Amino acid sequence: MLPPSLPTRGLPINTDPDEPVRLTDNDAATSRLSAATLEYLQDPFAALLYKSSPLAGPSRKPPLINIGTHHRTWALDRLVDNFFRCCGDEAAQVVSLGAGSDTRFWRLMNRDTPPNLAHYLELDFPSMTSLKAQRIARSPKLSSLLSPRPVSPQVDHQPLFFENTTNILPTTQILPSSQKQPYQVLHGGQGLTSLLYTLLPLDLRNQPLSSILSYLDQSRPTLFLAECVLCYMIPSEGNKVLEFFRENFSRCVGVIYEMCGLEDTFGKVMRRNLASRNLSLPGVYASPSTLAERLLIEGKFDRADGISLWQVRSIIPEEELKRISRLEQLDEVEELKLVLEHYCVVWGSKGLNMNLTLTN
């Protein structure tokens, strides 16, 4: 979720048209760190992949944003877990588009029972991947998880909210300086790769996705994640992304998180706030169902569905909702409903056994 536009007095003026989009990662990272600090969710890696910026706004977000971050994380974590469950004993791979400072790979591999992961690939603008590669290289806690760990053949859902996962597992040991690093640096420091994980600089709008195929096995079940990515691309550019996965992976799952429904009164206010930050949304859709239709039509998925974050709230266990309600006081439930109705999670799947749902 994006906070209101921030004052720019005293900050350098950047004429790069892509800079506003890149800065949205500051919003997401700060929101995640706020939610983790206040125990809405548990993420021991958020602070390792994010450094404060004058453009990021307050480090502590209001309850409405913390709740939205919790619901977003709960839904996406559940879909990713259900994807690995669909894969059974077979190792699967994940492609994260516009990954920014996302911590999902480390949260997955830090579990007592990590998923059966063949490879995890992250893509973003070169300036974003350069920063992330530096932070990984400088943090033994991050780099030590790039090597495979023994896994059990079946992964059960392990929500990362109120179980005992605050501390990083003992397996994340600091490597001696004499020990070879578990990764190779790529593209002059703009990326890196290991047996489990690859970080690559790539602009989805004008660089071919075919360059990532050398890091993947097209015969394996594959999940692609797009969190607030396609909405910033014109539809024809976004459709090429969907076509790439359609044409190259017979067993594929797509999970998308985006804003939606920006044609009503509240949505127009959101658009104006974004425009004040030089952000436009040429690829935004009217509703979760219309975005799901896009997966069916452009991605040729067998099945697709989607719900708003407000609808996600009705799926979250009552016990968990009560827990987070005790963390902070929320004064306006109607305002929460209004905001959450303008964000959605959409998923589609195709291929044998790739019948993904949010509820199982």
pLDDT of residue 150: 54
CATH topology of domain 62-147+179-350: Rossmann fold (3.40.50)
pLDDT of residue 155: 46
Torsion of CA 109, 111, 114, 115, to 10 degrees: -90
Q: Is 227 annotated as a binding residue?
A: yes
Q: What is the largest CA-CA distance in the chain?
A: 60
**Could you tell me the two tokens for 326?**
């005790």
175 in Cβ contact with 143 (< 8 Å): yes
pLDDT of residue 41: 97
Cα–Cα distances (Å) from 172 to 6, 97, 153, in that order, read 38, 26, 22
pLDDT of residue 181: 76
309 in Cβ contact with 38 (< 8 Å): no
Q: Is 204 annotated as a binding residue?
A: yes
d(CA 243, CA 241): 5
Which positions ≥6 away from 214 have C-beta within 8 Å?
none
- Domain ranges for the chain: 62-147+179-350
pLDDT of residue 3: 41
3-state secondary structure 111-147: CCCCCCEEEEEEEECHHHHHHHHHHHHHCHHHHHHHC
Q: What is the phi/psi pair of residue 287, to 5°?
A: -160, 165
d(CA 279, CA 26): 14
pLDDT of residue 20: 92
Q: Is 192 annotated as a binding residue?
A: no
Q: What is the DSSP string of 278-336?
A: T---TT-BSSHHHHHHHHHHTS--SEEEEEEHHHHHTTS-HHHHHHHHTTS--S-HHHH
Cα–Cα distances (Å) from 104 to 9, 37, 115, 228, 332, in that order, read 34, 17, 12, 15, 31
Query: Across the 360 residues of the chain, what is the mean pLDDT of every consecutive 10-residue run?
Result: 45 70 91 96 94 60 96 98 96 98 97 97 97 96 86 47 41 41 92 97 96 98 98 96 96 97 95 94 96 94 97 97 96 94 97 88
pLDDT of residue 14: 54
Q: Is 261 annotated as a binding residue?
A: no
CA 236 to chain centroid: 22
pLDDT of residue 53: 52
Specify the DSSP class assigned to residue 188: G
d(CA 329, CA 132): 35
In the sheet that holds 222-227, the strands lie side by side as: 184-186, 191-193, 197-201, 117-124, 92-97, 222-227, 252-259, 343-350, 303-308
pLDDT of residue 182: 84
Look-up: residue for tokens 């199982």?
Answer: 360
**Could you tell me the two tokens for 205?**
């709008």
Q: Is 326 annotated as a binding residue?
A: no
Specify the DSSP class assigned to residue 338: H
